[in-house]
Amino acid sequence: MALIVQKYGGTSVGDPQRIERVAEKVMACHDRGDQVVVVVSAMSGETDRLLALARAVARRPDPRELDVLLATGEQVTIALLSLALHKRGCPVRSYTGTQVQILTDSAFNKARIRAIDAERVRRDLAAGRVVVVAGFQGVDGEGYITTLGRGGSDTTAAALAAALKADECRIFTDVDGVYTTDPRVVPEARRLRRITFEEMLEMASLGSKVLQIRAVEFAGKYNVPLRVLSAFEDGEGTLITYEDPDMEGPLISGIAFSRDEAKLTIVGVPDEPGVAYRILGPIGEANVEVDMIVQNVGADSTTDFTFTVHRNDYEKALERLRDIAAELGARDVSGDPRIAKISLVGVGMRSHVGIAGRMFQTLAREGINIRMISTSEIKVSVVVDEKYLELGVRALHEAFALDRESMAEE
């Protein structure tokens, strides 16, 4: 008997018929003798409907009261799913975030989970009940309703799984797993049977939007095996766990990429301590998020400093950077708003030299100029002109044989 947390997103519970199908899946798991906790999102479209209502009475809605409003979305779903289960003769209890006591801080609209009192859920499970919990929401120390921000239901599921020491946390979604890269770009992209938490974090943050990154962090921190699988088709999906030390992993698990990036460079900055902060501090204050950062020391006593931002922030960042350049006495400022980032991700990289070399060679063979390079323990990222994005991803996917399952993955 295993304890399984299942999570269904808005599309999977988008109408009464789909809710019935979810009920069937939950029943199947319960009938196999597993203990099941189900976390659900609001029905697709519901959160937008509520937001439109809120904006109709207040253009900039008060965050606290907005959470009271938005939390009704998941409450509707837990009730409907429980009704569907009850109809099938399945003993069930539904709980809002307040009832379960998913305790969060008081950052309304983007609260973070602090603790979960899962005692009540445990009692229900012991009594043979399925427990249905509203995702995305919690309660602060004063009893006010909070929400975790968009996509927070994944986090609820992972956090509940951690609190309950669940055997597995299954995220049912509209894709059937995590792929080596985006199948829309590389038709040969292959579903991964396993991936490590660290790889998944790199893949998620780099634009493979299968899972909320906070959910992966949670699951990783508490070592809850996480499985991404399809809500609509059968299949084993992709299991996200820690690296098995006895297992020879593949060199590369996948290729993440992101469009809509822009690159800015400040040239000839005096190479003094603290200069990085004096450049990036004002950029951050302007609410611009910085992604990659590269610094090269030149021959003279100056340095060149390049970073990437989202394309939407390019103009704002460029303007700030010109002011900063004037202050610091830098030689020049330049930028390019049409770049893209390609990243190879794989824990196998740690123990294998030459990955980066093979990457650069592959891109060179296709005539793709690399504009920036950044590396971490399990990732090599390059920035290229946006027009080369698809070509580069496809060439790398083939060069690293990602379309073929490696022996080690069995």
Per-residue interface string for the shown chain with a second copy, residues 16-55, x marking contact by CB under 8 A = x--xx--x--------------------------x--xx-
CB of 49 to a second copy, least distance (A): 10
* 123 is a site residue for a second copy (CB under 8 A): no
CB of 62 to a second copy, least distance (A): 4
- Quick one: 98 or 104, whose CB is closer to a second copy? 98
Q: Determine the interface stretch with a second copy among 141-149, 197-205, 264-272, 383-391 (rule: CB under 8 A).
A: 141-149
Q: Indicate the SS3 state at residue 178.
A: coil
Which of 66, 162, 195, 256 touches a second copy (CB under 8 A)?
66
- Quick one: 33 or 89, whose CB is closer to a second copy? 89
- Quick one: 31 or 117, whose CB is closer to a second copy? 117
- Quick one: 99 or 362, whose CB is closer to a second copy? 99
CB of 22 to a second copy, least distance (A): 10
Let me know if 257 is exposed, middle or buried by CB neighbors in 10 A (0-12, 13-18, 19+): buried
CA 201/CA 213 separation, integer angstroms: 6
- Quick one: 96 or 343, whose CB is closer to a second copy? 96
CA 342/CA 400 separation, integer angstroms: 14
161: tokens are 């799984």
Contact 295, 269 (CB under 8 A): no
Q: Hunting for tokens 């009730």 — which residue is that? A: 79
CB of 365 to a second copy, least distance (A): 57
- Quick one: 90 or 240, whose CB is closer to a second copy? 90
CA 272/CA 281 separation, integer angstroms: 15
CB of 78 to a second copy, least distance (A): 6
Ranges within 78-117 binding a second copy (CB under 8 A): 78-80, 82-84, 86-87, 92, 94, 96, 98-99
Ranges within 145-174 binding a second copy (CB under 8 A): 145
- Quick one: 152 or 268, whose CB is closer to a second copy? 152
Q: Determine the interface stretch with a second copy among 14-22, 300-308, 335-343, 390-398 (rule: CB under 8 A).
A: 14-22
Contact 214, 204 (CB under 8 A): no
Q: Determine the interface stretch with a second copy among 74-82, 210-218, 237-245, 380-388 (rule: CB under 8 A).
A: 74-82
Contact 74, 134 (CB under 8 A): yes
Edge-to-edge strand list for the sheet holding 238-241 = 92-95, 130-134, 35-40, 3-8, 168-173, 226-230, 238-241, 194-196
CB of 5 to a second copy, least distance (A): 20
Q: What is the DSSP letter of 289?
A: P
Contact 134, 155 (CB under 8 A): no
CB of 135 to a second copy, least distance (A): 15
Cβ contacts of 326 within 8 Å, gap of 6 or more: none
Q: Determine the interface stretch with a second copy among 67-75, 194-202, 306-314, 326-334 (rule: CB under 8 A).
A: 67-75
Which of 75, 155, 303, 306 touches a second copy (CB under 8 A)?
75
Contact 22, 81 (CB under 8 A): yes
Q: Hunting for tokens 């304890």 — which residue is that? A: 3
Cβ contacts of 89 within 8 Å, gap of 6 or more: none
Q: Hunting for tokens 């379309």 — which residue is that? A: 403
CB of 36 to a second copy, least distance (A): 16
Count of Cβ atoms closer than 10 Å to residue 18 Cβ: 18
Contact 139, 129 (CB under 8 A): no
Which of 3, 14, 51, 65 touches a second copy (CB under 8 A)?
65
Q: How far, in whole angstroms, is CA 382 from its chain's centroid?
A: 21
Nearest 5°: CA angle at 7, between 3 and 10? 165
Binding residues for a second copy, per CB under 8 A? 16, 19-20, 23, 50, 53-54, 56-59, 61-62, 65-66, 68-69, 71-72, 75-76, 78-80, 82-84, 86-87, 92, 94, 96, 98-99, 143-145
